[in-house]
Each structure stands twice: as structure tokens, then as C-alpha cells.
Amino acid sequence: MKKPILELKNVTSGYNEIQVLKDISIEVFEGEIVTLIGGNGAGKTTTLMTISNIVPATSGEILYYGKPIHKKPADVLPGIGLCQVPEGRRIFPRLSVENNLEMGAFLRKDHKKIAEDIEYIYQLFPILKERKKQPGGALSGGEQQMLAIGRAIMGRPKLLLLDEPSLGLAPLITLKIFEIIEEINKKGTTVLLRLCNGNGKNYRQRYR
């Protein structure tokens, strides 16, 4: 029987005394795009932040390829293939577009392949190549979202966590973002995606 790449078992977490998640369980299998859908305050962002151990789980287990990760420091997780694009993009506004992409590969030493991956990002998002010398903070909201996704891809993630990538974007840009998400998935990256009610489309797919 196929085992999940990511499994949450009865996970509880929150902020100080405020409990947001209570005994939630989720399975994500390799090759899937799985979507968390719900209104504001439902705990979707907290779920992603808990998986990344930015918000620590107070009980339960989080397994990645069958091994517990809920006690691992957040900065260790990209090195084992788990990367997150947070809500609000969180790019480096003073660094150039290209430097932002290079920061996504800061744990890697394969310089030739890093250069190849940057060119791959430029193929996915041609506008980023046009603006590669501009500071990230000078980009539009949609371009910054492309840059944030591109930076995460530079880490060569096995599992990519995306927190509302369509938030505040024009419909055509949103469509482009979702097309790229599907392209990334076809290349072999499993995706866990958070959407608010009514945004995007149903991305729960199984490739088994």
C-alpha cells in the first residue's frame, strides 16, 4: 500500500493560549495537488505554518516520508525537500530578482544546475527574466508572487506548500499562477495548496 509523503496525525497547534487546530489529520500522497479550502479563520494558514514548524504543534505527529518532522527546526526542512511560499510573498525587496532566485538555492552546491534552474524559472515566468536586475520590491503583486514561487522551486522541493497564491491578483495573473502550479506538479513536485472559499478551482487530484 502506498504511503503518504506527508501525514498529520491528530495535530493540535495555535498561538500562545489560543488553540487554532485541534486533532486534525491529513494525508498527502506523492504526485498530488491537495487543496485546503475554507473561510478566513478556519486554520488553513496555521496548518501550513504548523507543517513548517513555524507554529509548533502542541500534540500529535507530522510525518514526512514516514519520519517525524514536527520537532525539526523550520530552517532544516527546505534541506529535506519541504518548501513553503507564505501568504504575502515575503520576497527580499532590496535584492534583485535574480538574487532572490539564488537565495532559494542557498542550501545547494551544484552551481551549474542552479544556473540551469534559474533559466527554467525564466521559461516559466518570462517577465522575471525581463526584470532580473530590478529589485524585487519594484515588481507588481503578481510578479512578486511569481518570484516567490520561483524562489521556492529553486530549492528543488519534493513537497511545496503554497499559501493563497492568488490573493489580490487579477484574474489573468491568477490563471497563469495556477497553470504554473500544474506544470510544477507534472514535473514531479507534490503540492499542498491553501485557498479561500471561491478562489481558484478544486485541485485535489491523485496520480496513483
pLDDT tens per residue across span 112-151 = 999 999 999 999 999 999 999 999 999 998 899 999 999 9
pTM above threshold 0.85: yes
Tell me the C-alpha distance between 136 and 94, whole Å: 6
Tell me which fold the domain 6-196 belongs to.
Rossmann fold (3.40.50)
Q: Are strands 159-163 and 33-38 parallel, antiparallel or unpaired?
A: unpaired
pLDDT per residue over 59-110, tens digit each? 999 999 999 999 999 999 999 999 999 887 789 999 999 999 999 999 888 9
Mean pLDDT over residues 161-177, rounded?
85
Residue ranges of alpha helices (H) inside 27-168 are: 44-51, 97-103, 111-124, 126-130, 141-153
Do residues 20 and 13 make contact, with C-beta atoms less than 8 angstroms apart? yes
Mean pLDDT (whole number) for 32-36: 93
> In the beta sheet, which residues pair with residue 124?
none
Residues 40/194, Cβ–Cβ less than 8 Å: no
Residue with cell 513548517: 52
Q: List, for residues 12-27, the tens digit of each pLDDT value.
A: 999 988 999 999 999 9
DSSP state of 190: E
Show me where the domains of the chain are located: 6-196
CA distances from residue 32 to 70, 119, 158, 159 in whole angstroms, order as listed: 22, 25, 11, 10
